[in-house]
């Protein structure tokens, strides 16, 4: 899971590559490297740490000149993060250079074979094996670079998005992908190759997304050639127009991307339902659903597969689809599902949820579901991502680029899409009355204003954060629709502030976790005035009588919980089903402020990456 950038054209490559790497740091940031070709020599700088460290190093080593360049920001898989294991890697002759995102699973036998043939390795990486394999093939069979890359790739097992450069062919970069994303920006007399389009968005809006098992030969002043790696068939390049702009991917005055993305939620929720939710006319229309409605209506069950925050959105969807559309739903961690020989039939509909659309486990679970005959529907944010292309149909969340590693707007927009789906299916099945349907549509339409109001809890969230920022543990409790929100609140806290946090259904407390409660334990209780309110009040009393510190998320005007809790955060009233869109907001803010106060790197927490393209 890494970010890669390549440039070939008439400009200085270095600034483009460095800026591109900074935009791709969400994919990994434990080490970075750059290679520039100045017409005479390959100049490489590599370092442990972030792209900013690389900038210092390449300036001091003067590896900044040339109009062909490649760069890499790494999330280590094989070999610790250090200078030597950083990419680019060179072949033994020093003529070939590679950047790689992915894993070569059979690198060990390949490495042994290459060592037997006299190759020497300097790093612990699988990538250095691949570049030497390419060199070996090239020399043995006297092949041009493109052909050598193709022959070598047919020998490897694993996943990759690569760029390869050969000093003998200085006007060319060969790119290829299998299981890791790769976009090629097509400019006038210049090309950009990157893990996503953000590194080249200000230079061109024309992009080609390589499909799995495709390779591209990108040559200056020549048309791009794309081939299937396995059988060598030529593929017509499909150039599409990009939908994002530069402003969308910059911080817009906020201190962190995460905060910016939290505050974007009112607008992006609107973007999510725009054109799909026509509340006054009593219509929900979603192309992917309309075209496949019979598949959903005839399904024995719906299986939801996802990871992390997207899995939490899936749990909310389970409640809402079962309640409204009365279709049985099961929610699975994609990583477990893919390896447990699950029972899937052609009567199942699988919904795969993923912000990035690149999560390796989710992608593998989709492939498995398709093999077994299920209809697979994707709910993704990133347009053109692998999952959006691998699924039979789908709905984009339209949240715009999410850069902060901790998902925020992705979660609420996923819930918005899934809620619309549930309501649309319920309408088609006749499991919801016309008046309820209409009421929910009208309520959904005003949710952005309520989210805006919920964002006004920022100051109180900050005050509470200051009190609990040093707590070693924290519990999150919720019931019904707000149980998944409790899980999500706990995940947000642990991933960005490194405080141990657990989410539980409030009623499960008495089956064990209540033993943890003492005067040092902060307990965040999600207690809006809805279905389970009285039960949650009882749970709060149980915590109170054991001296736990209660931070309660309540509906505006609540008095009962206010009397019991140490702190309350008030959010606007809503129906039970739509409450996760509001209750989640103060939890995002709370974890954000705690992380900032603890001096944590909010946007790039340790050990994590935005897009988990390895299993
Ligand atoms: O891109 P995806 O939605 O498939 O990513 C799934 C998880 O990796 C992701 O939600 C992760 O848990 C986030 N760090 C949560 O904030």
Which residue has a Cα nearest atom 11 of ligand 1?
Answer: 308
468 and 426 within one domain: no
Q: Are 318 and 365 in contact (CB under 8 A)?
A: no
Q: Which of 548, 564, 544, 541 is nearest to 473 (CA)?
A: 548
Mean pLDDT confidence for 166-170: 95
Eight-state DSSP code of residue 26: G
Answer yes or no: do 219 and 269 share one domain: no
pLDDT of residue 247 exceeding 70: no
- Over range 110-114, report the average pLDDT: 97
230 and 98 in a common domain: yes
Look up residue 511 and give its DSSP letter.
G
Ranges 24-38, 45-59, 546-560, 583-597: which has the least confidence: 24-38
Q: How many helices (H) and strands (E) does the chain have?
A: 20, 27
Same domain, 412 and 469: no
- Check pLDDT > 90 for residue 273: yes
Per-residue confidence at 251, pLDDT binned at 50, 70, 90? confident
Q: Which residue has the higher pLDDT, 542 or 229?
A: 229
Residue 200 · residue 20 · CB < 8 Å:
yes
Answer yes or no: is pLDDT of 26 > 80: no
Q: Which of 237-241, 243-247, 457-461, 467-471 has the lowest mean pLDDT?
A: 243-247
Give the pLDDT confidence of 72-101 residue by residue, as tens digits.
999 777 778 899 999 999 999 999 999 999
Backbone angles phi, psi at 332, to 5 degrees: -130, 145
Helix (H) or strand (E) holding 8: strand 3-8
| Interatomic CA distance for residues 354 and 410, integer angstroms | 9
Distance CA 131, CA 124 (A): 13
What is the set of active-site residues? 2, 610
Mean pLDDT throughout 118-126?
96
By the 8 A CB rule, do 497 and 600 touch?
A: yes
Ligand 1 near 359 CB (within 6 A): yes
**Confidence tier at 250 by pLDDT (50, 70, 90):** confident
Of 181, 196, 310, best ligand 1 pocket probe by most atoms within 8 Å of the beta carbon: 310
Hunting for tokens 């939620």 — which residue is that?
A: 265
Ligand 1 touching residue 355 (CB < 6 A): yes
Instruction: Say what the pLDDT of residue 47 is.
Output: 97
Residue that is last in its domain, among 210, 242, 274? 242
Q: What is the pLDDT of residue 6?
A: 98
**Beta strands 42-48; 31-37: pairing state:** antiparallel
Looking up residue 340, the CATH number of its domain turns out to be 3.40.50.10490
Residue-wise pLDDT tens digits, 58-74: 999 998 999 999 999 99
Buried b (16+ CB within 10 A) or exposed e, 602-615: bbbbeebbbbbbbe
Q: What is the mean pLDDT of residues 407-411?
A: 97
User: What tens digit of pLDDT does each residue of 593-613 get?
Assistant: 999 999 999 999 998 877 787
278 shares its domain with 233: no
Own/partner pairs, 226-232, CB within 8 angstroms, 24+ separation: 227/146, 227/150, 229/150, 229/153, 229/154, 229/176, 229/178, 230/154, 232/150
Q: Among the three residues 217, 242, 267, which one is the final residue of a domain in this structure?
A: 242
Could you write out the three-class secondary structure of 476-498?
EEECCCHHHHHHHHHHHHHHHHC
Closest CA to 238 of 208, 196, 214: 208
Same domain, 548 and 564: yes
Contact in structure between 464 and 567 (CB atoms under 8 Å): yes
Domain membership of residue 444 (yes or no) is no
Percent of the chain with pLDDT over 70: 99
Length of the chain equals 615
- How far, in Å, CA of 448 to CA of 457, rounded? 15
Q: What is the pLDDT of residue 382?
A: 82
Task: Tell whether 500 and 383 lie within a shared domain.
Answer: no
Asked whether residue 442 is domain-assigned, the answer is no
**Distance (Å, whole) CA 126 – CA 65:** 28
Identify the CATH number of the domain in which residue 44 sits.
3.60.20.10
Nearest of 392, 213, 193 to residue 289 by alpha carbon: 392
- Which amino acid residue places its CA nearest to atom 9 of ligand 1? 308
Q: Is the pLDDT of residue 25 over 90?
A: no
Out of 242, 269, 289, a domain closes at: 242
Between the alpha carbon of residue 209 and those of residues 183, 240, 247, the distances in Å are 4, 8, 22
Q: Is residue 609 part of a domain?
A: no
Rounded distance from Cα 310 to ligand 1 centre (Å)? 6
Q: Rounded CA gap, 382 and 400, in Å?
A: 8
- Is 562 among the domain residues? yes
Structure tokens at 418: 């899934």
Check pocket membership of 382 for ligand 1, CB cut-off 6 A. no
The predicted pLDDT at position 76 comes to: 77
Is 439 a member of any domain? Answer: no
| Band of residue 319 on the pLDDT scale cut at 50, 70, 90 | very high
CA of 610 to the centre of ligand 1 (A): 7
Question: Residues 410, 355: contact at Cβ < 8 Å?
Answer: yes
C-alpha 259 – ligand 1 centre gap (Å): 17
Query: Where are any strands of DSSP class E within 78-142?
Result: 89-90, 96-104
Residues 6+ apart with CB under 8 A from 188: none
Residues 534 and 589 in one domain: yes
Ligand 1 near 362 CB (within 6 A):
yes
Pair 193, 212 in one domain: yes
Closest protein CA for atom 14 of ligand 1: 406
**Number of domains, the chain:** 3
Separation CA 583–CA 568 (nearest Å): 12
223 CA distance to ligand 1 middle (Å): 37
**In which band, very low, low, confident or very high, does the pLDDT at 1 lie, cut at 50, 70 and 90?**
low
> Of all protein residues, whose CA lies closest to atom 7 belonging to ligand 1?
308
The answer on 289 and 233 residing in a single domain is no
Task: Judge contact between 409 and 402, C-beta under 8 A.
Answer: yes
- C-beta of residue 478 within 8 angstroms of C-beta of residue 524: no
In terms of pTM, does the model score above 0.95?
A: no
Q: Is the CB of 391 under 6 A from ligand 1?
A: no
pLDDT surpassing 90 at residue 30: no
Does ligand 1 come within 6 angstroms of the Cβ of 308?
yes
Q: How far apart are the first and last CA of the chain?
A: 10
Helix axis angle, 580-597 to 482-497, nearest 10°: 20
Residues 482 and 586 in one domain: yes
In a domain, 342, yes or no: yes
H-assigned helices in 188-273? 257-263, 265-273
**Angle subtended by helix axes 308-325 and 409-429, to nearest 10:** 20
Q: 388 and 396 in contact (C-beta within 8 Å)? A: yes
Please write the tens of the pLDDT for every residue from 364-405.
Answer: 999 999 999 999 999 998 877 889 989 999 999 988 888 899
| pLDDT for the residue 565 | 95
Label residue 144 by pLDDT band (50, 70, 90): very high
Has residue 186 been placed in a domain? yes
Answer yes or no: is the C-beta of 258 below 6 A from any ligand 1 atom.
no
What domain range includes position 468? 452-601
The pLDDT, as a whole number, for residue 248 is: 67
In a domain, 610, yes or no: no
Average pLDDT value for the chain: 94
Q: Which of 442, 54, 81, 507 is nearest to 283 (CA)?
A: 442
Distance 407 CA to ligand 1 centre (A): 6
Query: Could you tell me if the CB of 307 is within 6 A of ligand 1?
Result: yes
**Is the domain of 160 the same as that of 306?**
no
d(CA 320, CA 316): 6
Cα–ligand 1 centroid distance for 554 (angstroms): 27
Nearest to 384 by CA among 238, 508, 541: 238
- Residue 421 to residues 223, 302, 416, 424, Cα–Cα distance (Å): 42, 12, 9, 5
The string of pLDDT tens digits covering residues 499-538 is 999 999 988 888 988 889 999 999 999 999 988 888 889 8
Mean pLDDT of 549-565: 95
């Amino acid at each position: 899971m890494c970010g890669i950038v390549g440039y070939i054209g008439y400009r200085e490559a270095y600034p483009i590559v460095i800026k591109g790497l900074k935009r791709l740091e969400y994919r990994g940031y434990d080490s970075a490297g750059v290679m520039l070709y100045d017409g005479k020599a390959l100049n490489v700088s590599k370092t442990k740490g972030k792209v900013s460290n690389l900038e210092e190093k390449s300036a001091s080593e003067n590896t900044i000149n040339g109009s062909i360049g490649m760069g890499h920001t790494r999330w280590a898989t094989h070999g610790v993060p250090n200078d030597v294991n950083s990419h680019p890697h060179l072949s033994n002759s020093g003529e070939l250079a590679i950047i790689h995102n992915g894993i070569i699973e059979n690198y060990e036998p390949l490495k042994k074979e290459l060592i037997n043939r006299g190759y020497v390795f300097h790093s612990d990486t699988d990538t250095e094996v691949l570049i030497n394999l390419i060199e070996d093939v090239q020399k043995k069979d006297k092949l041009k670079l493109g052909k050598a890359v193709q022959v070598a790739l047919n020998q490897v097992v694993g996943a990759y998005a690569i760029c390869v450069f050969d000093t003998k062919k200085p006007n060319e970069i060969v790119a290829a992908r299998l299981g890791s994303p790769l976009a090629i920006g097509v400019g006038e007399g210049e090309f950009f190759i990157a893990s996503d389009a953000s590194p080249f968005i200000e230079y061109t809006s024309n992009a080609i997304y390589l499909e799995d098992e495709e390779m591209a030969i990108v040559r200056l002043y020549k048309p791009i050639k794309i081939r299937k790696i396995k059988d060598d068939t030529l593929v017509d390049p499909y150039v599409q127009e990009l939908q994002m702009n530069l402003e969308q991917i910059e911080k817009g005055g906020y201190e962190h991307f995460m905060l910016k993305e939290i505050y974007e939620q009112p607008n992006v929720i609107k973007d999510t339902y725009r054109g799909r939710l026509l509340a006054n006319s009593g219509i929900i229309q979603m192309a992917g659903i309309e075209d496949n409605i019979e598949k959903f209506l005839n399904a024995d069950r719906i299986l939801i597969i996802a990871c992390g925050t997207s899995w939490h959105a899936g749990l909310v969807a389970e409640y809402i689809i079962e309640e409204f559309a009365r279709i049985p739903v099961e929610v699975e961690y994609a990583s477990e599902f893919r390896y447990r020989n699950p029972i899937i039939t052609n009567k199942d509909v699988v919904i795969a949820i993923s912000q990035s659309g690149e999560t390796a486990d989710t992608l593998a679970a989709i492939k498995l579901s398709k093999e077994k005959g299920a209809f697979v529907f994707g709910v993704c944010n990133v347009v053109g991502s692998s999952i959006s292309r691998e699924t039979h149909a789908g709905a984009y969340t339209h949240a715009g680029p999410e850069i902060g590693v901790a998902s925020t707007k992705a979660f609420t927009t996923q819930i918005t899409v899934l809620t619309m789906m549930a309501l649309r299916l319920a309408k088609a099945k006749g499991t919801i009355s016309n008046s309820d349907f209409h009421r929910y549509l009208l309520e959904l339409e005003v949710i952005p204003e309520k989210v805006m109001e919920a964002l006004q809890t920022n100051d109180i969230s900050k005050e509470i954060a200051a009190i609990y920022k040093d707590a070693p543990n924290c519990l999150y409790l919720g019931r019904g629709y707000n149980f998944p929100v409790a899980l999500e609140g706990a995940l947000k806290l642990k991933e960005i502030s490194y405080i141990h946090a657990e989410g539980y259904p409030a009623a499960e407390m008495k089956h064990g976790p209540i033993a943890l409660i003492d005067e040092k334990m902060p307990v965040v209780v999600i207690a809006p005035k809805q279905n389970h309110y009285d039960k949650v009040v009882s749970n709060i009393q149980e915590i109170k009588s054991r001296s736990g510190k209660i931070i309660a998320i309540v509906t505006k005007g609540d008095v009962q919980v206010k009397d019991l809790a140490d702190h309350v955060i008030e959010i606007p009233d809503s129906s039970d089903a739509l409450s996760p869109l509001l209750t989640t907001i103060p939890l995002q803010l709370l974890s954000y402020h705690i992380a900032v106060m603890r001096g944590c790197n909010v946007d790039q927490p340790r050990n994590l990456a935005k897009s988990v393209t390895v299993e």
